[in-house]
Amino acid sequence: MKLIGMLDSPYVRRVAITLEALKIPFEHEAVSVFSDFDKFQSINPVVKAPTLICDDGEVIMDSSLILQFAELINSRSLWPRDHAELQHEFRAVSLALAAAEKCVAVYYERNLRPVVAQYEPWIERATGQLLAAFCGLEEVINKHPKNFQSLGHASIAAAVIWRFACTELSDVIRAAQFPALVDLSTRMESHPEYLKFPSVGPGVPKV
């Protein structure tokens, strides 16, 4: 399988790290939906990252569906079997993905829309939503710390999206308000899977 997309996307990085944690073989190709639009379009006309090219050449997208597919065909999973623990993990991942959605919305509004056309009430609304999502994540981590001690779907998604938010919206995120997320990010970013697929740095050109 081949994963298409840039690692400065939290969705692409989430998939790459999770596949690596699952020990599922794949190749990563860093193609930007912006600077490499034509190339990406030739791979997937929808131009959506992450895109996964399956072994038979068929293309699927959406980070959660890609991971569900990968786990099913490889009979491996990072989800807990206990129903109560699974509920906590689903809660955490849903909060992380909500935060990612709103972070991306604010980032696009600020960086892709002309300043004169930016709509401040929308930015404020989305900012409030992303901060609420991170507050929810902070609460879940504190209530269920054992779910975040190893590489699981909740810990991967939360840490990846927190790093993205801190990198791209540093003026919005007040790290001191989220000590559990800071600790999680510090621990997770030291794992080999995270180091293999960094969000910034050499080899990770900006979109």
Instruction: Please report where in the chains the tokens 């929808």 appear, as a residue.
Output: 46
Cβ contacts of 40 within 8 Å, gap of 6 or more: 4, 31, 32, 33, 47, 49, 51
Rg (alpha carbons) of the chain, rounded to whole number: 17
Residue 15: count of CB within 10 angstroms of its CB = 28
pLDDT of residue 200: 78
pLDDT of residue 165: 97
pLDDT of residue 203: 45
Q: What is the pTM of this model?
A: 0.94
- 8 Å CB contact between 1 and 52: yes
- In whole numbers, what is the pLDDT of the chain averaged over residues? 95
Alpha carbon distance 160, 199 (integer Å) = 8
Axis crossing angle, helix 153-168 with helix 179-188, rounded to the nearest 10: 110
pLDDT of residue 18: 98
Residue 114: count of CB within 10 angstroms of its CB = 6
Torsion of CA 36, 163, 60, 35, to 10 degrees: -10
Alpha carbon distance 52, 94 (integer Å) = 21
pLDDT of residue 202: 45
pLDDT of residue 204: 53
| Residue pLDDT tens, the chain, 207 long | 999 999 999 999 999 999 999 999 999 999 999 999 999 999 999 999 999 999 999 999 999 999 999 999 999 999 999 999 999 999 999 999 999 999 999 999 999 999 999 999 999 999 999 999 999 999 999 999 999 999 999 999 999 999 999 999 999 999 999 999 999 999 999 999 999 999 876 445 444
Alpha carbon distance 129, 95 (integer Å) = 10
Element (H, E) at 3: strand 2-4
| Per-residue pLDDT reduced to its tens digit, 112-124 | 999 999 999 999 9
